[in-house]
Structure 1
């Protein structure tokens, strides 16, 4: 079988060309990667993103435009060195068109969504929060025994982020009756996004990720015996869309 490279967008064709005796030698490959070529590729991919609403995810116009850029370079500039092909397949596409979280005093709370986040299909979920234990050593709400005695039926579970996959937390929340999860960050600052994976579709509850300080403030109220009612709304779509890989195989192998 020929040597092949699945073309990562950030480092695509950043080399100046290959001698046949260097194709299979890592040091030969690395030596031919040029910083200016990497920067040029990144500049073009950034330009494509800006022209497509800041999005190059699969199933979007930005993905198709990125693919066109890669194919043009592969077939025109490097056609003598690579055989380039396209591998088509269908994959589950998710897009969160809107997400909002309203706090107990009616205030809008900053939140981010996660990739493959389920929607609140029947409209906003307005429900009291139920607290879950913090376990920084093992990971909070990551294991069944950490949910012992928690009946989250009809409620939104307040869960700390960290350690295990977020989808594991959401599966357990669903198993214990929660309508959704409010996930507060385990670090200061604005939380980053993450993927819940396509494989979790249909197995998890909706989730909103909030800053640590907000989550800790709500947790303190719950520990003081106060009721904390919040409202979560997520408008999300899920559908199968065509995607593809671009594969370049060295002619010599």
Structure 2
């Protein structure tokens, strides 16, 4: 179904004439390496926000939907749909006057080709449902196995953090050909998988820990195509049922191999090269669907802003990036940062901040801002520390929303989007998010509208994440906020150094919106 246009697209020339003249005045006042303030950044932002339209963003998202429709319903990295998405972004950037750079890298591709089978054959025949009672590990191998289940160093009587399967010695006495039953915890799933395979396991079942918050079925990742036998994650309860002498049947059909994919980068023509303002969004979807909210929305909004700023003369250099293979572990942004760190560390040091836009149109949205000062989400499990300057970025977004009469709330630096490699290097970061699989609270429904008790995005990571799965009010609010932030920092970085007194909070309650995680609990069986 086609969306309804909220407003007509204004003449771009009016904005360019206004902002370019202001920026020229700024450039003549600043020394070549100074970080000068623009004479009237508020007025510039208003003009840019008028030029950046919801209609323009939606045009790009409809193009992404058309691409997915033409390529088996997906835009995942490693598929023709992603290559077509790359070409679309590159074409639009070139038409706007940029000289985009396409950065190729290899990554481990994975997809599940058919519904998996997992059942207890004896002593109590029980069929488990894929996606509800269990999920194949990302990078699971294919196979059809019926064999006894053998427990490996489990903690069943007093559930706690488990080391099951983390050491080769855990498999002393393991019978080759059996299915290894290991427990989540301590080391990576990939380590458990490899150790089980070396011991001769015909398949690997990873049961949950049984601790608070980690009891149900879950999906995890092996991190790379290390599996030679099927691998799945399931609940603590199902693991208990299999631990004492059961026989199981597992069937998996997957595709797991190394493939090329790409990042796309475009730099502004103007601006001091010593001061780089970097804004990014991941371009790929999951294999299961077209990914129009996740993350066609962030990619489209960033592209619209880049188009409208193409001829704007700014004080600082702006780099726009569309990342590949985010859905398999932030691989595109990680490749970019690692490559710079290894080969051009001076250029990495010129990056003064990174802005991330991942899911900005969720249908049951909240206006979440990354909690850069950790005031709502203290450093700990699920919340990384925001480097110095991140609290100031958070404040800029909260202040912007407040200036527009809109509430905002916090979401943690959970490590599950492309800001991760940047904050690991101490680069200040911030950005926007409208919620994933998390459930909207009653207080958030009062603030933002929508429905309490329902996920922000009920189509997160599944086939229904189509053009009909985006909220145009969220797109409107966030695309303007993106434009405001990018232009503000393109003109002036001084606010990054200004002290922020007290905790930085929006008007909303901190809810997070869901961890946007690829290692998450499935619905209870």
> Does TM, scored on the shorter chain, surpass 0.5?
yes
Stretch deviating more after TM superposition (100-109 or 86-95): 86-95
Are 1:197 and 2:223 counterparts?
yes
Q: Which has the larger radius of gyration?
A: 2
Counterpart position of 2:138: 115
CA distance in 1, matches of 2:192, 2:257: 24
For residues 45 and 126 of structure 1, do their structure 2 counterparts lie closer, same or farther at Cα, with a shift above 3 Å needed?
Answer: farther
Asked whether the 8 Å contact 2:171–2:199 carries over to 1, the reply is no
CA distance in 1, matches of 2:163, 2:64: 36
CA distance in 2, matches of 1:24, 1:195: 46
For residues 24 and 197 of structure 1, do their structure 2 counterparts lie closer, same or farther at Cα, with a shift above 3 Å needed?
Answer: farther
For residues 45 and 196 of structure 1, do their structure 2 counterparts lie closer, same or farther at Cα, with a shift above 3 Å needed?
Answer: farther
Extract unaligned runs of 5+ from structure 2: 1-15, 39-44, 274-525
Q: Tell me how far 1:208 sits from its aligned partner.
A: 1.7
Aligned pairs for 1:1-253 (under 5 A) are: 40=57, 47=65, 51=69, 55-77=74-96, 79=97, 82-98=98-114, 99-104=116-121, 105-110=124-129, 111-120=134-143, 124-134=144-154, 136-137=160-161, 139-145=163-169, 147=170, 149-186=172-209, 187-192=214-219, 194-198=220-224, 200-201=225-226, 204-219=228-243, 222=244, 227-252=245-270, 253=273
Q: TM-score, normalised by structure 1?
A: 0.67
The C-alpha deviation readout for 1:170-215, integer Å capped at 9, x for no partner, is 11111222111111233234413x33233x43x6532022233211
Counterpart position of 2:4: none
Q: Tell me how far 1:155 sits from its aligned partner.
A: 0.2
The C-alpha deviation readout for 1:28-55, integer Å capped at 9, x for no partner, is 9xxx798988xx5896698469746664
Larger strand share, 1 or 2: 1
Q: Tell me how far 1:229 sits from its aligned partner.
A: 0.5
Counterpart position of 1:8: none
For residues 250 and 126 of structure 1, do their structure 2 counterparts lie closer, same or farther at Cα, with a shift above 3 Å needed?
Answer: same
Q: TM-score, normalised by structure 2?
A: 0.35
Higher relative contact order (CA 8 A, sep 6+): 1
Asked whether the 8 Å contact 2:215–2:236 carries over to 1, the reply is yes
